[in-house]
Each structure stands twice: as structure tokens, then as C-alpha cells.
Structure 1
Amino acid sequence: MVKFQPNTDHKNVKLYDTTQKKHITFEDQDNASPKKRSQPDQPLISSSNKRSKSIIDLPSTKGITTPSRTKPKKSSKTRAYLDQVNRPMKQKVAKTEQDRQAQLQARGLAKRDAKRQKMKERRRTKKLAKVIDGVQVQVPVFHFTPDKIRHPLKVVDLRNFILYCLTTGPVPKFAHITRSSCVQRMVVIHSMGLDITSFGAPLSRVNVPHTIPLASVDPKTAIGKANMPFLVSHMSHMLVYKLSSSFSGVVLNPLSELLQCPVSWSQREKNYAEMKEKLEQSDVDRNELHMLSLKELQDGGYPIPPFLDPTSTLPDGWKETKPAIQPIEKKRLIAVDCEMVLTASGSSLARVSLLDENGQVLLDEYVLPDEPILDYLTEFSGITKKIMDETTCSLRRAQKHFRKLVDHNVILIGHSLDSDLKALQVAHPYCADTALLYDSKRGPPFRPALRSLAKHYLKRNIQENDLNRTGLGHNSAEDARATMDLFKLKVQRGFSFGRISKNIELVFNRLAQSTPPMQGMILETNNTGTQTFQSSLGSKYKKFASDETLVDSLVEGMNNDQNFILAQFEPIKHLDEDELEDQPPTVISNTSTNDPILARKLAKFDDNLKKCYEAIPENTVVVVMGGIGDVPTYRR
């Protein structure tokens, strides 16, 4: 039997001693296959053009040769160049590492200081908490930082401040609120013509500071500080914001930017789904696609007939249109327009006109109100005392004539139809409103004027007092015809026709989408026959004849769970909105302390502000906002 002889050959030849970092070779491995390398083999002995390496014998390992670590000599020029290149790199690396350590240390100190400052602020604000009935109640604390305002504020910054106070929004640079979640309500009081020159800004409007401390303003030269003691004593600074203008140089109303915000992505998807659903309904009449839904009727403040919502009830004296005796497949179109006069209880019906889709007049009747007339509003309504003295038709008879012509086979079309239905005291389930189908040039919630829509889209001039007209004021039959033509044009051109932008929603919409949903309201002092705003999703609209009645409604709304109220007081200086749209963006004011009329208006505004401020509940943010300056003086 052959005796087993173990193989003494090394299977894994160690070419490098990693502990000693020395290159080794085996003299008895000439026939062994070389180890695979990722790089080409280097000769263990240098070639003839290089200096030979010395050999060091290691006593513990026989037959192993180790090349020395001596490097070949380099020329003096090469060594000098390498030293010159390597030295700055080493210094730079060392310096960068040193700076990095210093930065880390400084950052740690900054975090520590910020944490300490935050703890101090918490302790300070905790002391400001109120004790009510023996219970400590946390209250929000407002912090104003005027030193952080580097540029003039924009109206967009004020809008973001509203969203920051009531919802989750970014913290503005000029102020922040400790415990902002405790803020429950917000009131924005706006008055057109409340100008910065009344509070210390130079009349030339050159080099106006971004903020003006009211304590440093001289009352002898500032008519606002001299006549508004309550405002000056409760507000420390006046912020100067920058007005925006369109590409054509038109001055934009500041309330447009204040209330309009970009549509969120979730709302865009929802709008797209609703639009797609409407377009896919090919079997539905196109006229019916532009009718208001039940939710839109509710959000717009329209009277809700029990036919649509069995839970709704109509007030005494109100009527509902009747179902059709024989329903038809395609509903007929009838346009309505009403003219009103002012009575003790408010606006009352004075004339009603109905037209069919061919422009034929179906009904045109003057109506005598039940109460004495205080103002005929002839400039807007065309109603005179002589006409009313000859009128015998009552509201009840007008309702009877109206309900004979309008049933559930009819789509009722109007401009600001909610006002007409409230004047008629009638509820109808199928409505279309051109004030909602078209946008104003200023965007929502501004109400588009019928005269502007007819001029822009129909190339027709209406509501003009000239020699060719038989009377003054509006003609309800003429207005109803324009409304019908606008609706038919909208149906013909599509949903996007007449819209200034699809990606705009109101602050009220954003608040209504929050969790929990918030409610809003628009209040306006307007003693004319027109209205500036209109109801929209998440907001209600009310018009008043004086600031005093507006303040009473504002306080009532704040105490009835209204979260956001925009109150437009009577203008300090009356400005025509239609003429204002044609003005350049630069406005010059001539405010003077010697103007007694302006002084009385400012004092009246201050009194109403005081009444409002003292009556609203706690945890309410109050913002007083001025509008555009003295545009009539700029015109002259």
C-alpha cells in the first residue's frame, strides 16, 4: 500500500504581508501558477533603467526576500515642484478641517442659545395667561418684528397672514403669534381712501418707510393721528403695502389680491372631476348643465324651495313655483329682471320684467310696495314718484302673474338672481345666474356688472342715461334681454368662456375646506342701488345703508361662530370703481390737516372702530386696512 504523503505546497500564496506592509516573494514557487490580479503584474526587481532595490534578510523566514521601502531619487527640480504643490494642499485641508470644527461648535452654541431663548419666551408668555374663574386660560400672544421687514409688503403677504392665523400657513416675516391655534376669529376692516399720508407719510410718496411707528408721528401734520385717538392708542405701527397693477397699467383693487389665492391641488382634482362628469352627460340638455345645484343655491344665499330640500321652510308671504302639469323634455328659458326702491324695511320690488328666449316680453309690471317709499333710487331703478302714484299692482298680484308663467318646466335666468327672487319673495328650483357664470375683471367675490358684461361680450351699451332713452336709470326689460343673450352665449362657447382664471379660489373656499370647516361673511356699507360683492362658497353677503348698522351685524356675526369677516366701511373718499379701473398704478394724494370734511369722516370711522373692537369676543385678530389714495386729485 502506498503511504499517504501530504502536499506541502502552499495553495494560497501570500504576496503581501499586510501587517508589515512589505512585499514578499517565494523563491521555490517558480513552477506555481501566478495569482490572478486585477492589475498587471509588476516586476519584483526593477528594470535596468531603475536603481536596484536592496535585500533585507529576515531571520524568522527562510527563503523570503523583502524589497526595501527606499524610493528612487527624484531630480531637485521635480522635488521642489512637488513640495510647492503639496504644501498648500496640506495646509488647505488642515484649515478646512479646523473651520469645519469651528462651524460645528458655533452651530451647537447657536442651537443652545435658541433653545434657551425659546424657553424664556415660553415662561414669559405663560405669565401672560389669564385666570378666569380660578382657571388659567392660555391666550395667543402677538409678536411684531418690524426690523425683519426689508422690502415693502405686498397684499399677498397680508393674505398669507390671514391663512396663518386661521389655518396652517407659513409664518410671516413681519409678525408671529405664540399659540396661534388659540386664534378663533379674524376681522378685516377696510375703507377705501384711508390713506398713508394721513399718518405721517410724505405727500410726495417718495422714500416712504416700510413701517411707520404711530408714536413718532406729529399730530399737527398728520390728520389721521389728530382725529383717530382710539386707533392710534391701540395700534403701534402702520404697515405700508404695495399696490399691484395689471399689465395694462390698471390699478388692482387690494381686496382682489387679499381674498383670492391659488387653488390647491386637491381642489383642482375635484373641479376637474366635476367638469369631466358634466361633459360626459351627453344625454342632458346643455342649458341644464349651467343650472345651479342645491349646494350652489345654498352657498349663494338663494331661497331654497321645499321641492329641492324638504327640510327648508319659506318665510311668511313667500311663494314657491308649481310643478308642471305636463313635464317636457327640454325646459324653456325665461329671463327675469327687477327694479327696487328703498323702504323702511330695505329694498322693495317696484318693477318686474320677464322675457322668453326669443326676446319677447312676457311680463312687464310696476309694483307698489306695501310700505312707504323713502328713496325711489331713480338714478339706478328709473322709478319716479309719478310712476308709483299711478301703480296699483301689489306684490301678491305680481307673484300670481309670475307663477303663471314660471313653473318647473322653466329655467329661470337672471343677473344676481338671488336679489330678484328675494324682492319677488319667490323660490324656484331651476336657476341660472350670469353673475356666477361670468367673472368680474377684478375676479371673485366681486360681482361683475351687467353693463360691463354686455359691453365686453355683446358689444352692446345698456343702462346709459342719454337723450335716446325714454327715461332715467335702468330698464328691466333691456337688462333681462342682455341677461338672456349672455346665458345663450355661455352655453354656446363652453364652461371656460367668461372666466379670467381657472386656478383661483377665495380665502372663504380655503377656510370652508379646513378641518373643522370655517364660515365667513362679507359686509358692505353701500347706500346705492348697486352691490360690489356677492355671495360665494363659504361666505355670505350683506349690504347696509350705514356703518352703524354694519357694526351691529359684525358684532352679531362674531358672536354667532363666524370665523372670518370682511367689513367694507363707507369710503373715506368716494371712488368710482368703474373709473378706477382705467387709472395708472401711481396715485398721488393731497391729504391736508386743514380738511374739515376729511377730519369728520376719520373721527366717525374711529368711533365705529372703537364700538366694533370693544364688542367682539376675545382671541380675535383685528386688521384695519386702507385702500387707494386720492384718485380724483390725480385725475385733475
Structure 2
Amino acid sequence: MGKRKRQERHSDHPQESVGATVQRLRFENEEEATRLDTRRSSTSSADAEANTSTAAGTDGWQQVDRTARKKRKKLEKNYPTISHSHHARLQSFVKISDLQNLALYFLADGSAPQWVSIQHHQHINKVVVLMVPGLDASLFDGSIELGSSTRNSAGDVFEPAAEKGETGNSTAPAAPPSSDQSRSLAIKPDDYYPVKLFSSKVSPALKPLAQLFPHIWPIKTPGDPRKMHSPIFSMLSSPIPRPKEDKNIKGPRPPVESKHWKNQRTPITDFVMTKSELSENGFVLHPAHLSTDAERTVEAARRHRNVQSAADGWVDLLPSISLNDSLVPESEVQSGSVTAGRDVYIIDCEMVSTTVDRFALARISLISWDGQVVLDELVQPPDPVKDYLTPFSGITKEMLDGVTLTLADIQARLSDLLTPRSILAGHSLDSDFRAIKITWPFVVDTTLLYPHPKGPPQKSSLKWLTQKYLGREIQGNVSKGHDSVEDARAVLGLVKEKCERGKEWGTGSASGEPIFRRLGRCGRVNAVQGKKVKEDEKNGVNGKADQKEDWELHPRKTGAMVDWVGNMHGFAASASVAVTCKSDEEVVGAVIRAAVGDQGMGDQKSNNDHAGQEDANVPPGGCDFVFGRLRELEFERGYSPRIPGLDDRPEDDHPDEQADGNDPQSLTRTVQKTVQRIQDIYGALPERTAVIVYSGSGDPRRMIELQKMQARFKEEYAVKKWDELSVQWSDTEEQALKAAVETARRGVAFIGVTPIRDGSGQVVTGERV
């Protein structure tokens, strides 16, 4: 019997490796395998053309340069990937803290994640995290119908990109044949496995995401059955390990940093609330903050609508002053003074409930910076008192009998007392200002100086802050209620403590370390950095053995915080670069600049110089970790109110529409613009950059509505009879709240790695991750 001859292979079908064959068999359909063959052949052709050159003077002979080809193959072989393993067995939802740990695993001391498959993580150089509220599962599962065609900002008809990998690093997978041609993905509320992101199963406005990311990951925001915690704090704040000796302490514990804290005296002017902070926290804006006629017209209409105009008894104290009138010449400022030449007054009010107003002023106390009582008066409400709220206000009927001082008298006395250099400080001053019916431009609020550990909209009580940071008790006599002078002195102590300690005291750092600090201290170092760190540990810094690595001055990994104005939440001080923006367009430019550096921006830098009010020099090569937030979709869907004076929409773009997310065309346009901005950021990032896009939450509107109802019920229940309550709270509302919170906590995320690009910036190879 003769030997069997090996069949000759056709030249169009080159020999395939065993690994490639196995990979081909694992594909779900033949189209995927065909796509891989196309990419592999095109890549090989590109490499051959790039690495083959004709030597001059050799009469047509070709000289093959194998060095560049070897480098390219080595780069492709070791290129980092993030993928969902089909063999993975998830036991619960992926949490935002898992996304944070993923970033720390790439750049610092995070543990290896078990919920996702990662290869060559040490080759990832940067991490960019984008929070996009409103980009949740309802846009993908068919719950919300998006238009089939939209227009871009230039007014051109939007057509989805051709599926040739033009905007990403590969072509989006085709959906399996199905009789159901609706554009929706099968995303189940209780399923915590990722869902394949098919381009043909999503709206045209969302197709670019399918070209960048292979899966949509269900994400759960931290919280409890009755409330959701802040998705920003969950990403940017990591807990600080507490010493063993502190574990037995009961009640509010002293800050972890108090033992090794380095004070940084800060003038109180650094804590005066900005225009955006005032608006977001419910303050009525003083005319000094309104610089244009358009702003004044909008604010006047809003005040009239909310019964806060002059006709309703409201007074703008010193209405003709400007913000510049508060400036004090340096020659008049005492060296090292935290008041910076300003007159600081602490104000606190007690209220009662009348037949007309829910809360009316009954007592006002004002103390100076040195603790002296400047004003302490009882006020006769303008309408009959319905409830004195004694357990909270400390006001009784006997106290107000014979009182003749009116609200107008108090407004006049404050107008005579205050000057353009005066600052009013307090706790939840928006409530006090509503009771006094005044506006003032220079305000310091302890709820912002000491944000709640779980993040906004939650606020810490004055009693808890005083116990934690000042170590003393207030409001201890329940029967007599609160004392406005005692509360004002507690606020004074907190403000002085903040000025002495520094901006980071009492922020997220007090209960959790900002991720920027952790990256600076524990960031993964390269070979050169590692050698220097070892020398510093052995010999000390600058040859002094008693000194250690100064990671605050020279962080191992740098970070950038990019967000809308007034939304830094105390993290800007820890970031190497902090940029505040007024629109999503500015956020895109700032994120790209923070990631690639000024040198990498080229001609784009001049187009983005206007972005940011807290702009800083970006390190050469860009920052290692960049966090940015796009908010236009959040505003469009009504998840948060728009910031007055800041609107990313063109003036001729649906001017008569209300931003509640109910108009399909308006929503589709906003979704398309938001996705395009994600695509722009992704395409501008350098190679080996991990990109994490997460929504932060689901739809929170019903949850917020029920939480407000419950808060009002608790306030009234403590001082009123059952049949006098304006709202009722039964098991029906309780179960509705739990269901709404569960819905709000369900978000989504997209995870990927930027692909390999050639010298012209075109994608040459790489699997979607």
C-alpha cells in the first residue's frame, strides 16, 4: 500500500493554525469567522506593505525589513484585552465599586477582578471613566422608542456608520436571524450577565456604541432599600482602613486623618458658594449673580412662578452691589487671617407653621466671628400659627405673646447691618433664607463644607457634624427643642475648623480616600520609577534617610477631574488637574486634553482653551486616570434640573420643548449627540487606554418623588395629629418606594480598550473588548 499523499491546498486558503481553527469553531455564526479572516488578511497585507521597501540602486530587487514586522507582531501578541468569558459564573450584579477596583487593578494596587477576563493588564497605560446619566437600559431594551433617523448639530441627516470598523477597532457583530426585527436587546431586570451589543438590534443613534463595545453590562449602584447612594462618590472614593483600636468606638467616630493630619489654613472666601452651587441647593439668586438681561429675565420669571418675588414679601439685601464690591485690598488684610478682611456672621432661625405658610419665621439669631450675639429676636408671624413645632423650634405660644417685631422689621435690620464685605454662614441656609425671605450673594453653608459620606442629595445633620468634628453635644433637650444661638455657635465652630484644617477636611477624605490620592500613593510604577522608589526607600529622599517618598508632590499616577461647574464634590483638590465646564462639548475637549496632554492635542488645543474655570497645566503625555461626566442626556430626560444660565442646546433647537424626556425626537437628538461625544473621546485616546462608560443609575424620578413625600410625612407626623397630615404614608407607599429605589439602582456600563493604530491614526488590528 502506497503512502497517502497530502492533498494540495488551494492558494486562496492558506494553512490555518490549530488555535485559529478552535477560535473559528467557537464563533456563534459564520459571519463572525468571515469577518476575522478579512481582518487577518488585511492586517497581514498592511504589515507586508509597510515592512517591504525597494532599495535604491538594486535594479528592482526588494529588501525586506523584518524588524518593524517583529515589533508589530510582539505588540499585537501582548496587547491588553478585556472580555466576558463564556465560562464565567457571576453570582451577583457588578457594582460601581467593581468598576473602581478594575481601574485600580490597571493602574495601582487593586485586586484582580473575577467577573471579567483580562489579559496583559500591565500594558494598559491609562484609564478614562465617563459617567453618562440617562444612558441606561431603557434606551436599549425597547422601553423607550427612539426615532429611526436624527440630525446632528450641523443639521445634516444622521446615518449610522457603515459597519467597516470606521469609528472603532472592528466591525459590530451582526445579529442572529430572527423574525422579530424590533430594535431592542433582551436585557432582563434580574439578570446580571452582560448582553451582547448587536448593532442591528439598537436604534441608529446608538449604533456607534456597538462598534466600540461588545457588551452592555448591568451595574448596580450602592444603596439600601429606601435610598440610593451617590454614583460619583462610589467611583471616586475608596474607604480608608481603620486602626484596630478604633473599632470599639460607639457613635460618630473621629476622622481617620485627625491623627496624622497636616493643617492648611484656608481663607473663608474659598468656601463662599458659587452661583451654580446656590442654584443647585435651592437658593434664590441675588441680583449680583445675574450679569445679563437674559439671566435677570429668566430669574424674575422663576421667582414669580415660585412665589418668591418682591410682591410676595421677598427682599434682595443691598440689591445694587456687585461681586467685585466684596473684594478687600491686600493692604487691609491681616497676614494669615482666615477671614480675609471680611465680616462673617453666623445665622440660624427657628420656624413655626401657620395657616398660610408651611414654615414662618419665629426667631432669628445672629452671632459674629468672635462668638458674640449680634441679633437674637422673636418674630411675630404674619398669619395665625397652626403649629408651634416646639420639639424642633423650641417656640411656645407664651413666648410669642406680646411680640410685635415683624418679618419686615428683621429684613430692614439685616439690610442696615450687612455690607458688601459681609458673609453669612449657616447650616442649610436655603431654609433660613426662605423663612426670612431674603437673598444674599456671599454665603457659606456647612452642608457643603461637610458633605454627607454617601454623597448628595443627602445632608448630614448639624447635631451629627458637631458631635463628630467638634466633640460636643447640641440639641440634647428634646422637650425644649432647639436653641438658635446654640446652633449658630456650633456652625461657627465647624466653619473655623474647616478654615484651620483645609479644604479636604470633612469631605469624602474623612470617611473615604479619593481615588486620586490612592493612585498618587499606590500607583503602579514602571521600571525607571520603581528603581527610584527603591533607592528612596533605602537611602531616603535627597539622601536623607528620615524622609520618605513625597507622593503628594510627585504622585506615582496622576489624575484629572472634569465635570460641570459646581459639581466637583470635594475631589478637585486631590486631582492633579481639575477642569470645570459649562457644556458637554467642553467636557469632551477637557477629557481629551487631560488624557493626551497639551502636546498630543496639536491644533485642537486652541479650540478648547475656553473650557474650564479651574484649568491647570496638564502633565506631559496627559494624566493616567481621567474622570468626566456628560450631563446633557441627564437634563433632557429630567433626571436632574438644568443649571440656570448653562444650556448645551443650540438656541434654535426645539426652543418650545420642555426637557422632560417625553418628546421622542428631542430625546433621539440628545442621545445621538451624547453617543457621538463618547465616540469622539474614544477615537482621540491613545493606544492601550481602558475606557469605562457607566450610567451611574437608572431612572431616579419616581424614587425622588416618594422620598420627598416620606420626608414631609415624617416632619408632620412628629408634631401633628394623624387626621391633620397633608400626606399619608402607608405600606403601599413603602413598597412603592422600595420598588422605585430598586429601579433607580439598576444602571449599565460599557468597557473597552482603545485599539492599535498606525502612524496615520487608523485602526489596524485588535479585537473588540
TM interval, short-chain normalised = 0.3 to 0.5
| Higher gyration radius (CA) | 1
TM-score w.r.t. the length of structure 2 is: 0.39
TM-score w.r.t. the length of structure 1 is: 0.46
